[in-house]
Amino acid sequence: MNTSLAIKHEIDTSYFERKRLEAKYTRYFKSRLDYRQLVTYVPNKKLPVYNWFKYKEGFSRQLVYNILKDEQVSKKDIIFDPFAGCGTTLLTCKEFGYKVVGLDILPLAIFVAEVKLQDWSDLSLLEKAVISLMNVKYRKPKLSLPDVSIIDKAFPKHIQEEILFYKEHILEYEKPIQDFLMLGLISVLESVSYTSKDGQFLRLVEREIPSVKDTLLKQLKNMIDDLYLQQQALFKGGTAKIEILKGDARELSLPIKYWGKIGAVVTSPPYLNRYDYSRTYALELCALFAEDSKYINNIRHSLLRSHIESKVHKGKWISLPAVDEIVQNLKAKELNNNRIPIMIQGYFEDMNLVIKQLVTYLKPGGIVALVVANARFEGEMVPTDLILSELAELNGLKTEKIWITRYKGNSSQQMARYGKVPVRETIVFWRKPL
């Protein structure tokens, strides 16, 4: 046999399963590049209340609104977001009068979402609290930050003390005012640090750090201005029920009253991109929740396995030919991190569990809109959207459409070695049959 043909044959078979998936789902694809921005947090940056905490992994209010409208979701239905993050789906539902329940495993996300979703009716009390906090005379704090290595890299000592001074005082206020002030403090931590949230890690940056007092004052003032602006729309409009719970999307975490009652799921799981929320939000977790590095490690291993420190699961793995193919191909390559195959397998195992729970919660005819991105490791494309669609079908859902919203680039390293292949970001729509 001609050698070049033999090589070609080898390459073709090593992509067989993914080619099969692409062929199977071609008819569901629709280009919706007009959603390019809407699948990101960017449009929220300008929106009062939605922008109180920069959650880079979030999507936009407009996206949630469009999906609910386009899919003609009834206001009698209950909407569910199993990966609620900082609450975009919930806040949008609140604004437009839909009943909604959300779940997230990260205490920080729950905290942020809860403060945003509060009915802030008495703004004069908030104003008084901000003024009194800003008038407190500085004294050395008694509290300390946990002994986690990023803290000393992120903040000079005097900034650490200023943060703790404000934390100590904020804790003296009653809830929910305490939470409002604490969110103000949490949301300025990055700007008073030497760090910048950058993909997988906190990147260290050189810059002049402003005082915590000035930054916090500005943030709290903006938050109060937002409430004056948005009060009518967000907090006096609907009487729809809103609930947010801390829990694991892989488990049956929703109370039984919701089972079989969910009309629409609008969500976005962590992407298979190695990003680790426990690292990205380490400063905020340390300032508010963590007592030591063990706490951060526990959070890391409680998250969906989309990051490189994901552990092998002892449970039963349902074999998916496309995942097996990717893992097998990767194992034959020299990887810059040999945990990548473990992460990929863990990701789909976990998402299989998530989908199972969604099937329990959805009512017949209910729809899932899931924003997700594909990934590429050492030249191996992972068509997450299609693998998940096949998983959804194995669990009894029906794929309705797949909207292509963006094509992402590749890392320069990957492009140099394997060429440039755009990586899809999509919204997949699945429905539970009637």
Ligand X SMILES: C[S@@+](CC[C@H](N)C(=O)[O-])C[C@H]1O[C@@H](n2cnc3c(N)ncnc32)[C@H](O)[C@@H]1O
How many other C-beta atoms are found inside a 10 Å radius of the C-beta of residue 304? 23
Residue pair 230/51 in contact by the 8 Å Cβ criterion: no
Q: Which stretch binds ligand X (CB under 6 A): 99-107, 119-127, 130-138, 310-318?
A: 99-107
Q: Which stretch binds ligand X (CB under 6 A): 211-219, 269-277, 361-369, 389-397?
A: 269-277
The number of residues that bind ligand X (CB under 6 A) is: 23
Residue 358 interacting with ligand X (CB under 6 A): no
Report in angstroms how near the CB of residue 139 gets to ligand X at its nearest.
35
Residues in 214-253 that interact with ligand X by CB under 6 A = 248-250
Residue 39 interacting with ligand X (CB under 6 A): no
- Alpha helix positions (H), 155-269: 157-170, 177-188, 212-230
Say if strands 380-382 and 99-104 run parallel, antiparallel, or are unpaired: unpaired
Residue 287 interacting with ligand X (CB under 6 A): no
Distance CA 181, CA 133 (A): 9
What are residue 301's phi and psi, to 5 degrees? Answer: -85, 0
Residue 279 interacting with ligand X (CB under 6 A): no
Residue 78 interacting with ligand X (CB under 6 A): no
Q: Which stretch binds ligand X (CB under 6 A): 11-19, 79-87, 146-154, 378-386?
A: 79-87
Residue 268 interacting with ligand X (CB under 6 A): yes
Distance CA 317, CA 352 (A): 10
Q: Which is nearer to ligand X, 103 or 296 (CB)?
A: 103
Which one of 21, 38, 101, 106 is in contact with ligand X (CB under 6 A)?
106
Say if strands 29-31 and 78-81 run parallel, antiparallel, or are unpaired: unpaired
Q: Which stretch binds ligand X (CB under 6 A): 219-227, 263-271, 318-326, 395-403?
A: 263-271
Q: Which is nearer to ligand X, 82 or 366 (CB)?
A: 82
Distance CA 233, CA 229 (A): 8
The radius of gyration computed from the CA coordinates of the chain, to the nearest angstrom, equals 23
Q: Which is nearer to ligand X, 302 or 328 (CB)?
A: 302
Residue 325 interacting with ligand X (CB under 6 A): no
Distance CA 309, CA 338 (A): 11
Kind and range of the H or E run holding 264: strand 262-267
